[in-house]
Structure 1
Amino acid sequence: MPTGWQASLFDAAEAVGLRPLTAARRTVLDHGAWIELLPGWLTGADTLFERLAEQVPWQAERRHMYDREVDVPRLLCFYGEDDDLPDPLLDEARTALSDHYGAELGEPFRTVGLCYYRDGRDSVTWHGDRIGRGSTEDTMVAILSVGAARPLLLRPRDHHGRTIRHALGHGDLIVMGGSCQRTWEHAVPKTNRPVGPRISIQFRPRGVR
């Protein structure tokens, strides 16, 4: 797939690999939610971006919204727990996340979802991963970002509190835990600024979407 992507010289010079998750830093939010951030968890992230952009069978989807069918403003691909992942690095990342967070989560990460934001017109609106168990139980969703940085916004679901903003790309990791999917929302907004493409890789436990 043509990407219009220009890799950074810094990322291209690094070998592809994962840094220790012990360096992640947790921020406690309201309502029993928390996030952990680890900038640059994946080294050589531009190499993985290029492999995924070319090898993943990206799908354009349409969804019903406001009594009409609209294009989903990003490309998607979902891998269930029994599916072969498109790159061995994703298997390695899922195993590392399960080893690090499994005791607290009470289970391993199982599924992998990918979103391809081709430019600033692609986005995802405010939402929580509340399909399935995420609507009633504390859980975790880990997101690894490769490609150009895009802002990920978080706000309380009741809108009583400040919006948190993190620019994620180039191998950055964010983990949303506790009640975050039920009591907070997150979004990647559209932008008119020229931005490069980004791929978001979401690791989730069984029964959470």
Structure 2
Amino acid sequence: MLFQGSLLDLGAEEGPGPLTVKRVQLGHGAWIDVRPGWIGGADALLERLVTGVPWRAERRHMYDKVVDVPRLLAFYEEGQALPDPVLEEARAALDAHYGAELGEPFATAGLCFYRDGRDSVAWHGDTIGRGSTEDTMVAIVSVGAPRALLLRPRGGGGATVRHDLGHGDLIVMGGSCQRTWEHAIPKTAKPVGPRISIQYRPRGVR
């Protein structure tokens, strides 16, 4: 497993740091907040999640055939204990910071394991459930090697926004982002180590 840790992570106190974010307005009522290096000890957290999460592979129908989903997955329902105390601490910190604005807690956590540059996720919005009709938030914590997360207006007509996320970085997509914008993790031919993303969502948003 090719992975180069972050020098900034060495000796860092484990867990979420102060949640000071920079908000960027994307347009059409969508915005993102970004906090680089929010989770201290993120490289050690990656190693624990790789071995401690019951990862599953999925297959999906695409056009006229069934294909492997190019990443491993795990999902934690509302009320289900998360696989590491740091993830519980992160969710509590997100609830404390965004609770008044969101109007509800982050209830579920979905994990994606990108093993190398061949793993990816296509353009999409989290529009299964309430995200298709309501403003909401999806908070993503990334640990491991940075990968490009791209955002673009749904239907085209605007510039693509790129953030390279890993080593404990946080991005929060809010407002109309899931309806009016799409996001993706593209494949890359460059040598790249593993990355895990943890997506915190309110109830009824997928």
TM-score bucket (shorter structure): over 0.9
Secondary structure of 2:28's counterpart equals helix
Query: Where does residue 161 of structure 1 map in the other structure?
Result: 158
Aligned pairs for 1:165-180 within 5 A: 165-180=162-177
Q: Could you report, residue by residue, the CA deviation over 1:42-71 in whole angstroms, capped at 9, with x for unpaired residues?
A: 111101111101100000110111121100
Find the partner of 1:46 among 43, 47, 68: 43
Amino acid at match of 1:11: D
Query: Where does residue 108 of structure 1 map in the other structure?
Result: 105
Query: Where does residue 200 of structure 2 map in the other structure?
Result: 203
Identity rate, percent: 71
Task: Report whether the alignment pairs 1:35 with 2:32.
Answer: yes
Q: Distance in 2 between matches of 1:33 and 1:140?
A: 10
Amino acid at match of 2:82: L
Q: Distance in 1 between matches of 2:86 and 2:50?
A: 14
Give ranges in structure 1 of 5+ residues lacking alignment: none
Task: Report whether the alignment pairs 1:144 with 2:141.
Answer: yes
Is the Cα contact below 8 Å between 2:17 and 2:40 reproduced in 1?
yes
Query: Where does residue 5 of structure 1 map in the other structure?
Result: 3
* CA RMSD between the two structures: 1.0
How far apart are residue 19 of structure 1 and its match?
Answer: 1.2
Query: Where does residue 96 of structure 1 map in the other structure?
Result: 93
Query: Where does residue 58 of structure 1 map in the other structure?
Result: 55
How far apart are residue 96 of structure 1 and its match?
Answer: 0.7
Is the Cα contact below 8 Å between 1:39 and 1:171 reproduced in 2?
yes
Is the Cα contact below 8 Å between 2:15 and 2:90 reproduced in 1?
no
Aligned length: 206
Q: Scaled by the length of structure 2, what TM-score is found?
A: 0.97
Superposed structure 1 runs of 4+ greater than 4 Å apart: none
Q: Distance in 1 between matches of 2:72 and 2:51?
A: 13
Q: Could you report, residue by residue, the CA deviation over 1:120-155 in whole angstroms, capped at 9, with x for unpaired residues?
A: 000000000000000000000000000000000000
Secondary structure of 1:177's counterpart equals strand
Secondary structure of 1:200's counterpart equals strand
Give ranges in structure 2 of 5+ residues lacking alignment: none
Q: Distance in 1 between matches of 2:82 and 2:190?
A: 33
Query: Where does residue 193 of structure 1 map in the other structure?
Result: 190
Q: Distance in 2 between matches of 1:120 and 1:133?
A: 32
Q: Scaled by the length of structure 1, what TM-score is found?
A: 0.96
Q: Distance in 2 between matches of 1:96 and 1:13?
A: 21
Query: Where does residue 17 of structure 1 map in the other structure?
Result: 15
Aligned pairs for 1:62-77 within 5 A: 62-77=59-74
Is the Cα contact below 8 Å between 1:128 and 1:185 reproduced in 2?
yes
